Amino acid sequence: MGNLKTALKSEFGGAGRTMSPPSPKRPKKSCDDPNCPFHGSLSVRGRSLDGLVVSAEMDKTAIIRRDYLHYVPKYKRYERRKSHIPAHNPPCLNAKEGEQVKIAECRPISKTVAFVVVAIRGDQ
Ligand SMILES: [Zn+2]
């Protein structure tokens, strides 16, 4: 059963796989942000997630909302849960509120930010 784990990984989009040249395509615009995974020296590794931008008002940081289902065994039903993940928003992507984005884990950029926006859904 050694390949069960790899089978699961590929089924779920390979979460946990490293993607040191970021696999999403490079944005058309360029930027000079050192914390940009495309034009700076920031490398991404670990988890990559999808979410909705609920706030992009901070400087180069966006709040990503993730909705997910959590199973409650007692009632044999799922309950809806959500989480907010602060993510670095490089100027070349400049994700706006209401956009569906893909984020990838990176080194901690600040006290709370350890993810970076790597793609905006719908423009690829
Ligand atoms: Zn950039």
CA neighbor of 103 nearest in space, from 42, 57, 28: 42
Q: Can you tell me the mean pLDDT for 69-84?
A: 97
Domain of 23, CATH number, reads 2.40.50.1000
Q: Per the confidence metrics, is the pTM higher than 0.85?
A: no
Ligand 1 ion local residues (Cβ < 5 A): 31, 36, 38-39, 90, 92
Q: How confident is the model at residue 36 (pLDDT cuts 50, 70, 90)?
A: very high
Which range marks the domain in which residue 37 is found?
4-120
Q: How confident is the model at residue 25 (pLDDT cuts 50, 70, 90)?
A: confident
**CA 10–ligand 1 middle distance (angstroms):** 28
Q: How confident is the model at residue 90 (pLDDT cuts 50, 70, 90)?
A: very high
**CA 93–ligand 1 middle distance (angstroms):** 7
The total number of structural domains that make up the chain: 1
What is the predicted pLDDT for the residue at 27? 83
| CA pair distance 62, 64, nearest whole angstrom | 6
